[in-house]
Amino acid sequence: MITSKQVSDALRGVIHPEVKRNLVELRMIKDVSIEDEQVTLTLALPFMNVPIKDDLVRAVKGAIAKLGADLEVKVNLTEMSQQERAAFMTAAEGGPKPAQLANEIAHVVAVLSGKGGVGKSSVAALLAVALNRQGKQVGVLDADITGPSQPRMFGLHQTPPMSPQGIVPVQTPGGIKVMSINLLLPSEDEAVIWRGPLISGAIKQFWNEVFWGKLDYLVVDLPPGTSDASLTVMQSIPLNGIVLVTTPQDLAGMVVRKAAKMAEHMNVPIVGLVENMSYAVCPACGERIEVFGPSQAFHTALQTGAPLLGQLPLDPELARRCDVGKIEEYAAEAFESIAAQVAERLPVTKSVPIFA
C-alpha cells in the first residue's frame, strides 16, 4: 500500500515545463486520496484552457504509475482561485521578494472602469480616504501607469525612499501610503511611452518590491479597459474584489459590462458598482439635474450581477480639491456608505498568499 508521502515525493519529480519548478512547490496538487490500488488527486491549473494541460496530466499519471504497476491514477482538473493564481505567478517568477515577505496586507480591492473619463481614479482615491477616516491603515497602488493621477490628487511630489525591504511608498498628510509611476519621474508632466510588457513589469514591481508594511486595505487604481495592465493585476495580485465605476450614459454602461465580464473570466469577485456623475445639485435652488441623462445604474447593476453601492454627484468642489492636491479635505458624505459596503462585502480571508 503506497502512502500520500510517496505520491507527493513522486510528483516533486514532475517539473512544470515553463516555470521550471515542480508541481508540488507550485501548489498545483490537491486532494490526494488513496484507496486500494487507485490514486485520485486534483490538478489545479492557473487557467483551465492552458495549452500544456494534457501534457501535465500525462506527466502526473506517469510519475505515480512508477510507484506500482497495478496502480490506477485518476486526475481531476480544477482552475485556481484568483489568489492561488497570484501565488503561482509569484512562484513562477522565482518566489517572493523581501518586500512581499515583510508586507501584511489584509485586503486588496481594485477599482476598474470600462472606459476613461468616468472618474475611476477619483473614486479609488475617495475609497482610500473614506477607509482611512474609519481608522484603517490604507495604501493606494496607482496601476494606471500611462495616466497616473493619484499623486496630484493627494498633493504628493517627493521621490519614494528605499529601505532594506524595498521601495517605501510616500505618505499623504492623512497617513495614506501611495505608490505611483509619477513619483519616480523627473516631472509629473513626463509621458510614459511604454509598450504592454514594460507597463506590466512596473505593476508587478509595485506589488512585489514596494514595502507597504501592515495595511488593512490596499486600493488598486486600475487603468480603464481590459488590456495588458488590468490582466496583469488580476493574474499577479491576489485581489479580494473589484469595484466597477460607470456613469449614466448607456455607452459607459456597455463598456463597464465588458470589464465585468473580464473579472468574471478571471474569477475575481465584483464587490459592487458605483455610478459616478449621476447628477448635479443646483447651487441656487438645490434641484438635482441629470447632466448626463437619466441614470442607468440599476439597469447596469442588474446586467453585471453586481450590487449597486451608490450614486455620486458631479461636484465642482471635488474637482477643485483634486487639482490642488487636497482630496483628503473633501467632505465626501455621499461616499461614506459606499466605503462601508465595500468593507462589509470584501471576504474575511486575507489577500496575501502563503508562499511555499
pLDDT value at residue 355: 40
Query: Mean pLDDT in the chain?
Result: 90
Identity of the amino acid at 153: M
Domain boundary among 51, 80, 109: 80
Q: How many C-beta atoms surround the C-beta of residue 345 within 10 A? A: 17
pLDDT value at residue 354: 39
130 and 158 in a single domain? The answer is: yes
Q: Does residue 352 belong to any structural domain of this protein?
A: no
CA separation for the pair 322, 310 (Å, rounded): 21
Using pLDDT thresholds of 50, 70 and 90, give the confidence band for residue 304.
confident
53 and 131 in a single domain? The answer is: no
Mean pLDDT, range 128-137, rounded to an integer = 96
Mean pLDDT, range 86-113, rounded to an integer = 88
CATH of residue 45's domain is 3.30.300.130
207 and 299 in a single domain? The answer is: yes
69 and 184 in a single domain? The answer is: no
In the structure grid, which three cell numbers stand for residue 120, read together?
475611476
308 and 204 in a single domain? The answer is: yes
Boundaries of domain holding 165: 91-345
In the structure grid, which three cell numbers stand for residue 106, read together?
489584509
Phi (first) and psi of residue 272, to 5 degrees: 170, 180
Beta-bridge partners for 145: none
175 and 150 in a single domain? The answer is: yes
pLDDT value at residue 350: 55
pLDDT value at residue 213: 95
Distances (CA, A) of 60 to 15, 27, 44, 130, 283: 10, 14, 12, 49, 69
Distances (CA, A) of 302 to 147, 180, 265, 294: 30, 34, 18, 16
pLDDT value at residue 49: 84
260 and 207 in a single domain? The answer is: yes
| Spatial contact of 253 and 224, defined as CB atoms under 8 Å apart | no
Q: Does residue 55 belong to any structural domain of this protein?
A: yes
The pTM score is 0.83
CA separation for the pair 252, 258 (Å, rounded): 10
CA separation for the pair 219, 124 (Å, rounded): 7
227 or 199: whose pLDDT is higher?
199
CA separation for the pair 65, 59 (Å, rounded): 10
* Res 353 pLDDT > 50: no
Using pLDDT thresholds of 50, 70 and 90, give the confidence band for residue 163.
very high
In the structure grid, which three cell numbers stand for residue 270, read together?
465584483
Helices 53-65 and 4-11 cross at an angle (nearest 10°) of: 130
Domain boundary among 80, 105, 133: 80
Share of the chain above pLDDT 90, in %: 58
Phi (first) and psi of residue 330, to 5 degrees: -75, 135
* Res 317 pLDDT > 70: yes
* Res 155 pLDDT > 90: yes
Number of domains in the chain: 2
CA separation for the pair 189, 144 (Å, rounded): 15
| Spatial contact of 188 and 207, defined as CB atoms under 8 Å apart | no
49 and 187 in a single domain? The answer is: no
Mean pLDDT, range 24-45, rounded to an integer = 91
| Spatial contact of 216 and 137, defined as CB atoms under 8 Å apart | yes
Using pLDDT thresholds of 50, 70 and 90, give the confidence band for residue 101.
confident
* Res 57 pLDDT > 90: yes
Domain boundary among 80, 103, 126: 80
* Res 40 pLDDT > 80: yes
pLDDT value at residue 61: 94
